[in-house]
A and B are shown apart, each in its own frame.
Chain A
Amino acid sequence: MVAALKLVGVRKSFDGFLALDDADFAANTGEVHALLGENGAGKSSLMNVAAGLYTAEAGRLFVDGEEVVLSGPRDAMACRIGMVHQEFKLVKPFTVAENVLLANWRGRFAPGVREVERQITTQAAELGFAIDPRSRVDELSIAERQRVEIIKVLLAGARILILDEPTAVLTDEEAVRLLTTVRTLAARGAAVVLVTHKLGEVTAFTDRVTVMRNGRAVAVLDSRSTTANELTQLAVGTTVAQPRRASSPPGAPVMTVKGLRAARADGHVTVTDATFHVRAGEIYGIAGVGGNGQTELVEALTGVRAPLAGSVELDGTGDTTGSPAEALRDLGVASIPADRFGYGLAGGLSVADNFCVGQMHKGCYGTWLRTDSAAMRKATGRAVGEFDVQGVRNLRQKAALLSGGNAQKLIIAREFSRDPKVIIAHSPSRGLDVRACAAVQERLLSARAGGAAIVLISDDLDEVLNLSDRIGVMTRGRIAAEFAAPADRQAVGRVMVHHA
């Protein structure tokens, strides 16, 4: 059988860094082919070559056995290769139909819009979901936007469909729906490439899997006859032990939240009545479907947003409701935000600056009149080693150049190196590969062993279940139910869905 899409010996480097080193890949018509690997293994780069976005320095590309040279995404589209990127390429104030039209122009505008609207409706129905072609993209949820992207490439005639980490932004349920849709597409004769680092998706929803490591394809396997362990070993090189929570008696309550109420910037109240407490040496997990007030709760707890009502009390300090971030940090509250480069790091500044900014006001790095850059570099160098932040070639290097996992490690280094009493961690392992994820969770557990009180807010239910001593389920801005570990996954899931 001739492969629908085949890449042979692809090499690509970025500014001296070899991202792809003689990588091979082949996907057949009618199959869902997983492309598995850690962050930075070269999955996305390889697929960007296939989609005509990157020009490889070496290597050949075959579509249905014929060699092609792509000069850009337009050529790829002509070869019927379509890619849905991790960051959606949609014009937000445009409607769904206008976005689709923009990607594949047809004749005159007004009749084109009508025709496209009709096609979108039919295509959506075929894939098993409904979408209003006239709604504006910025009114749609993330999952809906992703569907628009898929329809967009399908209507442009794509028969080879590349999905780059499609489930990273979705909830469990949405992910299952998407993967079911993907299977439907393959059954109808498309070749689907699913770029992912989630092992569960590979074994449950794909036919074959290509595993990449360090810019090369290291194995091609039948997804059904492989195990998660085998895949991890191939992707990582060694097996990664899942962090385990040692049992230890918790101490006294450190942070007590009562009837907290907070609103988004637009005035919409998303945290309605949050009440919970967390004790020393304990991880309090907050599970819930994203968008139930988690973000605003985190902001209120870390002093970025002033709550409308309710109280937050810290052990030994008393009422700290509405204190600004500076004050809370001095009282020992540390924060690991979900949006790493939005709230955690200043990407344009150096690793050393980003590490030292948290303690600068204490005078650790010089006086008001003079910052001591030698002391800054020394402290940062030590922390980078201690917290295993990799990819730091130079402490003056911009933080934006760090990969997701290392950026997170840098944030953790800054927040944990001052022995915090309370840690607010929001989706700390989102988007990280197996190894980085384990490292981050390990850090949380060792902070817990050291007596810190940790609030872990995460969309990833498994993470919450694995790490937490107690679990609160957040729905519609309140803690709807609490469970003690070990909690029943089904029971927690039911509360998440039913109260939502």
Chain B
Amino acid sequence: MLEQAAHPAPPPLSLTVGRAHALRFGRINLEVRQSIPAWRQALILAGAVITGMAISAALLIAAGVKPRALLDEFVVETLTDSENLHSILFQAAPLIFVGVGAAVAFRVRFWNLGIEGQMIWGGIAATFVAFYEIGPPVARLPLMMLSAVLGGMAWIMVPTWLRLRLRVNEIITTLLLNYVALNFLLHLVYGPWLDPKDAFPHSPQFHSYERLPEIGWGLSSALVMALVFTALAAWLVQSTRFGFYTRFVHDNPRMALAVGVPIKAVMLISVLLSGGLSALAGFVIATAQEGRLTQSFFEGYGFSGILIAFLARNNPIAAMIVAVLVAVLFVSGRSLQVFCQIPFAMVQLIQAIIVICVAASEFLMRHRLHWVR
């Protein structure tokens, strides 16, 4: 009591704290941006990707890769070695299909995590046509392709129907149906479709007319197909009435319903396209890369598709570009695996790091930071 009386009443604590804090350090002020110019958006995005690559490089170096080897594998080899360039473009085709496929579904907020399942069904349906030799050889490849697309669409119809009719969350159903598809695939390649020649778990080799041809300069027609479908998807989402409606279903489905947008039809078409495109990824791997149905041709593509769509902000053209970059990562990752004993999981880790950096950069696009004194 005595002590208190001896001193004048101290001012409330926070006042001094607030003032000192403000004077000495200033502080960062956050503002929500109303709009952001495209160049700044691109700059932030580039910054995020570079940050992600820097972190990835640090991780690879920590894992024992020499900086020199990193530069060699990712930059020098990619740009100079024509064989490497070919394998990247070869690798890009299925990645473009899954990336664009995921984007088309995400544009109507249908979270298709079943890309791998649809790829498997694409592969199975194509191989079905080849295995039972349906149609004349000339029409074989187109029939296989059609069959693959229908297979993928049929497989995605299950979760779609559950979602539209019974409001079952598609994240769960699409994901779990992947395992159903996988087990059916294993049944086929270990059972009725087992290659009688070598008794390995894969289907017999396709005939030459059942394989996607090369078109010169070492390029596969798979890449051409991928580019054509990307262009079609881009036209569909950007210029058509269907694309116009998908934007409403994405932004505000309740409002879309109220103003008469046929949201169920728009959703159904988008989702079927997504299933069909994913199935085509399976088709091109089977018919251009492997030449048969194997038990693991789809591995890793589901995650990559989601990632590509995310990085491309669901834009088909951007998805195509990102898919090529991911292909660089895939191919370089494989040689790192061979030459530096780096596990392939590292490639997925790098993908994840870049995704996290880009996702975090969203914050800087939505907000403006400035320093207040």
In the bound assembly, the distance between CA atoms of A343 and B239 in angstroms comes to 25
A369 to B235, CA, bound (A): 9
User: Is B34's beta carbon under 8 Å from chain A?
Assistant: yes
Assess whether A69 is in contact with B19, with CB atoms less than 8 Å apart. yes
A326–B262 touching, CB < 8 Å:
yes
A462 at the interface (CB under 8 A from B): no
Inter-chain contact A342/B255, CB cutoff 8 Å: yes
Known: A353-B247, A357-B259. A70 touches B18 (CB 8 A): yes
The answer for the CA separation of A324 and B11 in the assembled complex, in Å, is 66
**Within 8 Å CB of A397, what residues of B?**
35
Chain A residues with Cβ below 8 Å from B257 are 304, 325
A75: interface (CB < 8 Å): yes
Find chain B residues with CB under 8 A from A341 CB: 252
Query: Which residues on A sit within 8 Å (CB–CB) of B248?
Result: 346, 349, 353, 357
Q: Is A476 an interface residue (CB 8 A)?
A: no
Nearest chain B CB to A446's CB is how many angstroms away? 22
Asked whether B31 is an interface residue with its Cβ less than 8 Å from the other chain, the reply is yes
Most A CB within 10 A of own CB, among B19, B29, B33, B243: B19
CB-defined contacts of B33 to chain A, threshold 8 Å: 15
A contact residues around B14 at 8 Å (CB):
74-75, 78-79
17 inter-chain pairs at a CB distance below 8 angstroms, sorted by A residue, are A15-B368, A66-B15, A68-B19, A69-B19, A75-B15, A78-B12, A78-B13, A79-B14, A79-B15, A337-B258, A346-B252, A357-B256, A368-B240, A370-B239, A371-B241, A397-B35, A414-B259
Closest A residue, CB atoms, query B244:
A371
The residue on A at minimum CB distance from B20 is A69
Q: Which residue from chain B places its CB closest to the CB of A16 in the assembled complex?
A: B34
In the bound complex, do residue A358 and residue B247 qualify as a contact, i.e. CB atoms below 8 Å apart?
Answer: no
Q: Is B313 an interface position by the 8 A CB rule?
A: no
Q: Which of A259-309 contact B (CB under 8 A)?
A: 302, 304
Pick the contact of B31 from A14, A71, A348 — CB < 8 Å? A14
The residues of A that contact B32 with a CB separation of less than 8 Å are 14-15
Q: Which residues of chain A are near B239, meaning CB under 8 Å?
A: 369-371
The answer to whether B244 and A68 touch across the interface, beta carbons within 8 angstroms, is: no
Contact A346 B256 (CB under 8 A): yes
CB distance from A52 to the nearest CB of B (A): 9
| A residues adjacent to B (C-beta < 8 A) | 14-15, 17, 55, 66, 68-71, 74-75, 78-79, 302, 304, 324-326, 329-330, 335, 337, 341-349, 353, 357-358, 360-361, 366-371, 397-398, 401, 414
Select which of A335, A337, A346, A368 is within 8 A of B242 by beta carbon: A368
A396 to chain B: closest residue by CB:
B35
How far apart are the CA atoms of A142 and B287 in the complex, in Å?
A: 62
Answer yes or no: B207 CB below 8 A from chain A CBs: no
Within 8 A of A (CB), among B16-73: 17-19, 21-22, 27, 29, 31-35
Question: Which residues of chain A are near B19, meaning CB under 8 Å?
Answer: 68-69
Contacts of B12 in A (CB 8 A): 78-79
A346 touches B251 (CB 8 A): yes
CA distance in complex: A357, B27 (Å): 44
CB-CB under 8 A from B252, the residues of chain A are 341-342, 345-348
Residues of A within 8 A of B244 (CB): 353, 357, 360, 371
B260 within 8 A of A: yes
When distances are taken between beta carbons in the complex, the residues of chain B under 8 Å from A17 are 34
Nearest 3 CB-CB pairings of A with B? A78-B14, A326-B260, A346-B251
Is the CB–CB distance between A335 and B22 below 8 Å? no
Contact of A349 with B247 in the complex, beta carbons under 8 Å: yes
Bound-state CA distance A15–B36 (Å) is 10
Contact with A along B252-292 (1 / 0, CB 8 A): 10111111111000000000000000000000000000000
B372 sits at the interface (CB 8 A): yes
Inter-chain CA distance A368–B34, complex, in Å, is 32
Interface residues of chain B, those whose CB is within 8 Å of chain A, are 11-15, 17-19, 21-22, 27, 29, 31-35, 239-245, 247-248, 251-252, 254-262, 368, 372
- Shortest distance in angstroms between B52's beta carbon and chain A's nearest beta carbon? 26
Chain A contact surface mostly: mixed
Q: How many whole Å from A414's CB to the nearest CB in chain B?
A: 8
Question: Chain B contacts of A325 at CB under 8 A?
Answer: 257-260
Query: Does A68 lie within 8 Å of B251, measured CB to CB?
Result: no
B241 and A360: CB pair below 8 A? yes
Cross-chain contact B22 with A71 (CB below 8 angstroms): yes
Inter-chain contact B258/A343, CB cutoff 8 Å? yes
Known contacts A79-B15, A367-B241, A368-B240; is A358 also within 8 Å of B260 by CB? yes
Give Cα A325 to B262, complex, Å: 9
In this complex, what residue of B is CB-closest to A357? Answer: B259
Residues of chain B within 8 A of A330, CB atoms compared: 260
Q: Are A304 and B17 in contact (CB under 8 A)?
A: no
Nearest CB of B to A139, in Å: 24
Cβ A357 vs Cβ B261 within 8 A: yes
Query: Shortest Cβ distance from B230 into chain A, in angstroms?
Result: 18
Report the Cα distance A70→B18, complex, angstroms. 6
B264 CB, min distance to chain A CBs, angstroms:
10
Which of the residues A14, A70, A345 comes within 8 Å of B255, measured between beta carbons?
A: A345
Question: Are A368 and B241 touching (Cβ within 8 A)?
Answer: yes
Give the chain A neighbours of B258 by CB distance below 8 A. 302, 304, 325, 335, 337, 343-344
Contacts of B245 in A (CB 8 A): 357, 360
Nearest-Cβ distance from residue B265 to partner chain A, whole angstroms: 10
* A-B contacts besides A66-B11, A325-B260, A366-B241, 15 pairs, CB < 8 Å: A15-B33, A15-B34, A69-B22, A71-B17, A78-B15, A302-B258, A304-B257, A304-B258, A324-B260, A345-B252, A346-B252, A347-B252, A357-B259, A358-B260, A369-B239
Complex contact B251–A71 (CB within 8 A): no
Set of chain A residues within 8 Å of B243, measured between Cβ atoms: 371
Chain A residues with CB below 8 A from B31, complex form: 14-15
In Å, the complex CA distance between A366 and B239 comes to 10
- A-side contacts of B15, CB under 8 Å: 66, 68-69, 75, 78-79
- Min Cβ gap A370→B in Å is 5
Q: Which chain B residues lie closer than 8 Å to A371 at the CB level? A: 239-241, 243-244
- What is the bound-complex CA distance between A302 and B260, given in angstroms? 10
Question: Knowing A15-B33, A401-B34 touch, does A343 contact B262 (C-beta < 8 A)?
Answer: no
The answer to whether A358 and B259 touch (CB under 8 A), given A70-B18, A71-B21, A75-B18, is yes
- Min CB distance, A302 to chain B, in Å? 7
Q: How far is the CA of A347 from the CA of B255 in the complex (A)?
A: 10
A55 contact from B11, B29, B241, B247, Cβ within 8 A: B29
A14 and B32 alpha carbons, distance in the complex (Å)? 8
Chain A residue with the shortest CB-CB distance to B27: A71
Known contacts A79-B12, A79-B15, A329-B260; A342 and B34 CB within 8 A of each other: no
Contacts of B21 in A (CB 8 A): 71
Shortest A290–chain B CB gap in Å is 19
Nearest-Cβ distance from residue A39 to partner chain B, whole angstroms: 17
